[in-house]
Amino acid sequence: MKKRRNPALTILFSVISVVYIAPILIVLMNSFKRKAYINRYPFALPNADTFVGLENYTSGIEKIDFWRAFGYSVFITTVSVAVILLCTSMCAWYITRVPGPFSRIFYTLCLFAMVVPFQMVMFPLSKVTDLLRLNTPIGIVPVYLGFGAGLAVFLFCGFMRSIPIEVEEAAMIDGCSPTQTFFFAVLPMLRPTLISVGILETMWIWNDYLLPLLVLNQKKYKTLPIAIQYLKGGYGSIDWGAMMAMLVLAIVPIIVFYLALQKHIIKGVAAGAVKG
């Protein structure tokens, strides 16, 4: 049976889409304009008088040491997401396959971590990370693991409960150890949820500003969001042209990553939240 389209909903969602896309288009448009014209004509398209080509991009890359900041962002995001996926998937497997008071308490704590406002822990977190010398790109990884584990464990547990226990029993009968059973039998079946969690965690960590600002040693390590913020000068002066250009370079990788894998998000979230 063919479904009838609702014109009102089509118009509504089209307007919502434009509202979400408009800021990105404005940033892209202004990244090619002279700094003096961005404040005066922020919504005007570049013309012969305002267009500066790639000057804002080259200037911004030089001012913030873009490639160094980009490297730190890539390293922190890649390592943190990999650690989150590995640790939380193994944790969810233990919780679902070894029922008991400890598993229930640990699962509840993971869910509780999802609802605790970050503002409640940001100052103690900053103090503890300084004491433990976690103010490096490697040190911030366990911090991201702690904050990202709640959602990941919740989704993995939901999907894990839908996996027949007979699959793991068959693997053990074939001579697999518990570790081999997880990596060769269970982990491949977690692919939809692995991709979904990976996308969500990547978008969060890549765009995160506050946590690296609180944890990292700013004299040595700056991620892209922090480096771009340094384009603000004294007395409120801002190099708007370079800032717009650097914002474009910062959001393009994550947009491409999301568009390439977006089809897996709904599938993985539904599998992790509904099944079981």
pLDDT (tens digit per residue) in 33-74: 988 888 888 888 888 888 988 899 999 999 889 999 999 999
Residue 165: how many other CB atoms lie within 10 Å: 10
pLDDT surpasses 80 at 4: no
pLDDT surpasses 80 at 175: yes
DSSP, collapsed to helix, strand or coil, labels residue 238 as strand
pLDDT (tens digit per residue) in 241-267: 899 999 999 999 988 888 887 776 666
* Amino acid 191: pLDDT: 86
- Per-residue pLDDT band for 10 (boundaries 50, 70, 90) equals confident
pLDDT (tens digit per residue) in 208-241: 999 999 999 888 899 999 999 888 765 567 888 8
Tokens for 130? 């300084």
DSSP, collapsed to helix, strand or coil, labels residue 252 as helix
CA distance 2 to 240: 50
* Amino acid 44: pLDDT: 86
- The whole-number average pLDDT for the span 155-167 is 87
The pTM assigned to this predicted structure is 0.87
CA distance 273 to 193: 10
- The whole-number average pLDDT for the span 96-125 is 87
- Per-residue pLDDT band for 156 (boundaries 50, 70, 90) equals very high
pLDDT surpasses 70 at 80: yes
pLDDT surpasses 80 at 6: no
Q: Are 41 and 50 in contact (CB under 8 A)?
A: yes
CATH annotation of 58-274: 1.10.3720.10
Residue extents of the structural domains in the chain = 58-274
Q: Let me know the angle formed at the C-alpha of 266 by 77 and 149, rounded to the nearest 5 degrees.
A: 40
